[in-house]
């Protein structure tokens, strides 16, 4: 399905940069939003340099759009006030702009870290309660709650992608379960933007890893193609972990510096 005007927030980030290139051929206009300066590299691209905390600027960027892919925010553990500003308030501004302008679809970048304190032996799906592995994961719980609110109360169509470990290839043993390849990332994004009939859904965006401990999202109609197991021989040996899906992210030492 070809798309009309699509806004991508956080377009200067790693995933935003990759998705930008992958979406160019299937959209009429791609609006790239970030605080960092960007340059339009294709006739279909438009650049908006703005802060997601500026609600009026966000709403203006969303005017006339068909869909928004919201990738902007703080991407890792940080002090809670910073995460609340960037990941929660910024998301609220995106959802409110989408409501005002009647966007057909909102795709929110959630995270596997929302359930990182589950044991690795358990297969986790969106129906399982959140067990965040840090303050970053807490901010993603709030992001999904906002998405649910706007779907239930205002009728927005919202997809929350719980993004796995996005890397060109697996870099550590945990990635045997959590890896999200660039090819599969783009596949999930396209499906999240185009799949019809979605009210609200949360879905794990993860490659077809033999050792994965998350349910694959049948409702988006995308079947991942890559498996981290193919890279097993390239990974270093590691001591036994803590048995939690978040691995080191779930350790107290990871969050203590930010408290």
Determine the pLDDT at residue 107.
98
Give the mean pLDDT of the chain: 97
> Domain with 105 in it: what CATH number?
3.40.50.720
Q: What is the mean pLDDT of residues 150-170?
A: 98
Is the pLDDT confidence value at 2 over 80? no
Rg of the chain in Å (alpha carbons): 18
Domain that holds residue 24: 3-258
Among 28-32, 40-44, 222-226, the least confident range: 40-44
Is the pLDDT confidence value at 1 over 70? no
Determine the pLDDT at residue 114.
98
State the DSSP code for 41: -
The Cα 155–Cα 171 span in angstroms is 40
Active-site entry in 136, 166, 188, 204 = 136
Determine the pLDDT at residue 26.
87
The Cα 148–Cα 137 span in angstroms is 17
Is the pLDDT confidence value at 240 over 60? yes
Instruction: Judge whether 166 counts as a catalytic residue.
Output: no
Determine the pLDDT at residue 203.
98
Q: What is the mean pLDDT of residues 53-64?
A: 98
Is the pLDDT confidence value at 73 over 60? yes
Q: What is the mean pLDDT of residues 50-67?
A: 98
Is the pLDDT confidence value at 52 over 70? yes
Is the pLDDT confidence value at 25 over 90? no
Number of domains comprising the chain: 1
Determine the pLDDT at residue 54.
98
In the chain, the percentage of residues whose pLDDT exceeds 70 is: 100
Output the CA–CA distances (angstroms, integers) from residue 56 to 53, 87, 93, 232, in the order listed.
9, 17, 8, 48
């Amino acid at each position: 399905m070809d798309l009309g005007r699509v806004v991508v927030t956080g377009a200067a980030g790693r995933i935003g940069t990759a998705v930008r290139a992958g979406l160019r051929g299937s959209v009429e206009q791609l609006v790239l939003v970030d605080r960092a300066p960007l340059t339009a590299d294709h006739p279909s691209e438009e650049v908006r340099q703005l802060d997601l905390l500026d609600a009026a600027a966000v709403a203006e960027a969303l005017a006339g759009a068909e869909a928004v892919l919201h990738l902007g925010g703080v991407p890792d553990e940080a002090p809670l006030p910073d995460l609340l500003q960037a990941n929660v308030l910024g998301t609220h501004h995106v959802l409110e702009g989408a409501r005002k302008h009647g966007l057909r679809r909102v795709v929110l970048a959630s995270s596997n870290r929302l359930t990182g304190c589950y044991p690795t032996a358990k297969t986790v799906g969106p129906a399982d309660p959140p067990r965040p592995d840090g303050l970053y994961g807490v901010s993603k719980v709030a992001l999904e709650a906002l998405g649910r609110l706007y779907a239930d109360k205002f009728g927005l169509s919202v997809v929350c992608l719980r993004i796995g470990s996005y890397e060109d290839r697996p870099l550590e043993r945990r990635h045997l379960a959590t890896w999200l390849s660039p090819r599969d990332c783009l596949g999930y994004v396209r499906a999240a933007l185009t799949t019809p009939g979605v009210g609200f859904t949360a879905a794990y965006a993860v490659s077809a890893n033999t050792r994965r401990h998350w349910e694959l999202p049948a409702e988006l109609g995308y079947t991942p193609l890559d498996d981290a197991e193919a890279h097993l021989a390239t990974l270093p040996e590691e001591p036994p972990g803590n048995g939690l899906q978040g691995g080191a992210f779930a350790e107290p030492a990871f969050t203590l510096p930010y408290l």
